[in-house]
């Protein structure tokens, strides 16, 4: 007997993931990573521009710039969390007979978990601006 191989997966496995589900998975981690990298780069340059650490930043409104970046990150992470909840609810009622539906439901469940954890990380990073001075060596 000859073994049959298929070059393409079955049609039900090719169900598209969609932008909303991709944003739900990667939105909060990307917001946290961007917040961490940009805030670190700005405060490092403002507080240690050449070879002598400063007590006050080079730019006067540095704290407000950092808060603006943090607020943008919390909005993106919170949006990713809300989208992930919506995607999870949408895929929760799926028939679960198709491979693509099971895959999308699994991705939506992980999106809720990752967006929750990274949203908490964004909040903790924001709290550090209120606890520590911007230029503290």
pLDDT 10s digits, 56-94: 777 778 889 999 999 999 999 999 999 999 988 887 776
pLDDT 10s digits, 10-50: 555 555 668 888 999 999 999 999 999 999 898 888 888 78
Q: Is residue 13 part of a domain?
A: no
pLDDT 10s digits, 86-133: 988 887 776 667 777 788 888 899 999 999 999 999 999 999 888 887
Q: Is residue 74 part of a domain?
A: yes
- Write out the residue range of the structural domain in which residue 96 sits: 18-131
Q: Is residue 38 part of a domain?
A: yes
Q: Is residue 114 part of a domain?
A: yes
Q: Is residue 6 part of a domain?
A: no
Query: Looking at the 3D structure of the chain, how many domains does it have?
Result: 1
Per-residue pLDDT at 32:
96
Q: Is residue 102 part of a domain?
A: yes
Judged on CB neighbours under 10 Å (0-12, 13-18, 19+), 101 is middle
* Helices and strands, counts by H and E, the chain: 3, 0
């Amino acid at each position: 007997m000859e073994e049959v191989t298929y070059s393409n997966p079955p049609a039900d496995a090719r169900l598209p993931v969609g932008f909303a589900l991709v944003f739900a998975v990667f939105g909060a981690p990307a917001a946290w990573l961007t917040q961490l990298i940009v805030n670190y780069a700005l405060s490092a340059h403002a507080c240690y521009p050449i070879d002598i650490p400063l007590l006050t930043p080079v730019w006067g409104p540095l704290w407000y710039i950092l808060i603006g970046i943090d607020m943008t990150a919390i909005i993106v992470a919170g949006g990713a969390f809300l989208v992930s909840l919506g995607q999870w609810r949408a895929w929760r009622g799926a028939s679960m007979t198709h491979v693509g539906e099971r895959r999308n439901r699994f991705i939506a469940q992980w999106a809720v978990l990752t967006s929750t954890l990274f949203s908490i990380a964004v909040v903790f990073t924001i709290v550090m601006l209120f606890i520590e001075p911007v230029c503290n060596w």
